[in-house]
């Protein structure tokens, strides 16, 4: 019977000490006690002895209060075989503890609870907000932080690097700029960005799996800064990638370009999907229907809804001051998707590869401005722009 009721001070709180059966994770983590979130310096020794990912607590008091529940996690070491029917070859890895965000950084309302109260309360309001010049400028600044974080992630993509290591670098960069990584604890998402590899369409959770030569990986970055959420992503090649995957990536980007080109006042939002699917079909590819672009700003997700497939029934016209994302997810095979048991990771239904690109933009008087645009020093993509 387990009687452990005291955590141990770690000499290096930024790195766990574990057996060979479990990975070493780098980073500064948040207290595991629900709704605490303080920086942690104390590690549960039982987790380490059992070869489980380390669990951190900010104090003996927090650990003791959560111990009746936490000790149950130790009993899960002998877990039943995963009987989920995966469509492709990718499998989930081990996820490190939740990372810490310093107290001085403004946070969205879901940081502690995991529930975006204000966003969910606003869901019933279908009106698309017209942003003020000040809000657009704040969103522009959030997008610049997001762009530089994404470029940092791009520079780290290579065989042998884990998506958890990329997540740590992205997290540290965003908070160094005074921003908050929007995905962190949004509806309890455990990490600071999404890493979606090969057949994963979106919402892949960073873990300890090293990237492999021939993989493709999408890094999806979102930043909360000055009260505004920015959102962008790109898909990258890992080492030597086959021509079919390069074709998929390039034409996913081209589809996004085609959609952005029509954005201006008085264009219907549903036309975005018509343009994207027409282009995808012409190139032998399919468009995911489950996930869409969306409004951004004060809320991570809000009106308008922006489907990427043809014949959608989305209402509304673009107006000057509207801010939203376009983020087509394009597949080599069928457009249908399945969701893993983690209730986040979305895979293609046939196991074939998927790519995605995303920009945040604002409608202007005569057209649109891409707020998350690539910079002059952004690392190159796998094709010529």
Distance CA 143, CA 147 (A): 6
The predicted-structure confidence for 4-57, as pLDDT tens digits, reads as follows: 456 555 433 333 333 334 455 666 788 888 778 788 878 888 887 777 777 888
Note the helical H segments in the chain.
45-49, 60-74, 110-113, 117-122, 133-156, 163-176, 243-261, 270-282
| Residue 291, CA distances (Å) to 19, 182, 225 in order | 39, 18, 24
In this prediction, residue 7 carries a pLDDT of 58
- Distance, first Cα to last Cα, the chain: 62
pTM value is 0.88
The predicted-structure confidence for 99-132, as pLDDT tens digits, reads as follows: 999 999 999 999 999 999 999 998 878 899 999 9
In this prediction, residue 23 carries a pLDDT of 52
Q: What are the residue ranges of CATH 3.90.230.10 in the chain?
A: 110-370
In this prediction, residue 198 carries a pLDDT of 98
In this prediction, residue 27 carries a pLDDT of 67
More confident residue, 257 or 44: 257
In this prediction, residue 42 carries a pLDDT of 83
Q: Which region among 68-77, 189-198, 302-311, 364-373 has the lowest average model confidence (pLDDT)?
A: 68-77
In the CATH scheme, what is the code of domain 110-370?
3.90.230.10
Average pLDDT over residues 216-245: 98
Distance CA 350, CA 369 (A): 36
In this prediction, residue 14 carries a pLDDT of 39
Average pLDDT over residues 310-327: 97
In this prediction, residue 3 carries a pLDDT of 39
Q: Tell me the average pLDDT of the chain.
A: 91
């Amino acid at each position: 019977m387990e009687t452990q009721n005291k955590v141990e001070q770690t000499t290096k709180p930024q790195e766990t000490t574990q057996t060979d059966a479990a990975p070493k994770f780098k980073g500064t983590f948040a207290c595991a006690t629900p709704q605490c979130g303080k920086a942690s310096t104390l590690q549960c020794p039982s987790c380490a002895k059992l070869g489980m990912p380390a669990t951190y607590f900010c104090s003996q008091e927090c650990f003791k209060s959560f111990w009746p529940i936490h000790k149950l996690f130790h009993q899960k070491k002998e877990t039943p075989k995963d009987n989920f029917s995966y469509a492709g070859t990718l499998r989930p890895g081990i996820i490190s503890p939740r990372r810490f965000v310093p107290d001085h950084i403004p946070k969205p309302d879901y940081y502690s609870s995991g529930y975006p109260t204000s966003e969910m309360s606003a869901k019933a309001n279908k009106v698309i907000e017209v942003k003020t010049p000040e809000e657009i400028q704040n969103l522009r600044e959030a997008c610049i932080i997001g762009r530089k974080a994404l470029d940092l992630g791009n520079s780290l993509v290579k065989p042998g690097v884990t998506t958890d290591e990329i997540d740590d670098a992205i997290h540290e960069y965003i908070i160094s700029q005074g921003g908050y990584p929007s995905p962190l604890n949004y509806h309890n998402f455990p990490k600071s960005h999404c890493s979606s590899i090969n057949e994963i369409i979106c919402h892949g959770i960073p873990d300890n799996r090293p990237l492999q030569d021939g993989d493709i990986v999408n890094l999806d970055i979102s930043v909360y800064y000055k009260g505004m959420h920015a959102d962008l992503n790109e898909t990258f090649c890992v080492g030597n990638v086959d021509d079919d995957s390069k074709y998929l990536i390039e034409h996913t980007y081209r589809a996004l370009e085609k959609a952005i080109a029509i954005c201006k006042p008085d264009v219907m939002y549903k036309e975005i999907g018509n343009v994207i699917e027409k282009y995808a079909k012409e190139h032998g590819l399919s468009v995911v229907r489950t996930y869409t672009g969306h409004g951004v700003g004060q809320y991570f997700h809000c009106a308008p809804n922006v489907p990427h497939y043809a014949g959608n029934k989305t209402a509304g016209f673009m107006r000057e001051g509207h801010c939203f994302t376009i983020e087509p997810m394009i597949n080599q095979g069928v457009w249908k998707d399945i969701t893993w048991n983690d209730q986040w990771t979305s895979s293609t239904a046939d196991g074939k590869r998927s790519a995605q690109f995303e920009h945040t933009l604002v409608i202007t008087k005569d057209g649109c401005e891409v707020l998350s645009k690539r910079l002059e020093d952004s690392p190159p993509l796998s094709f010529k722009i």
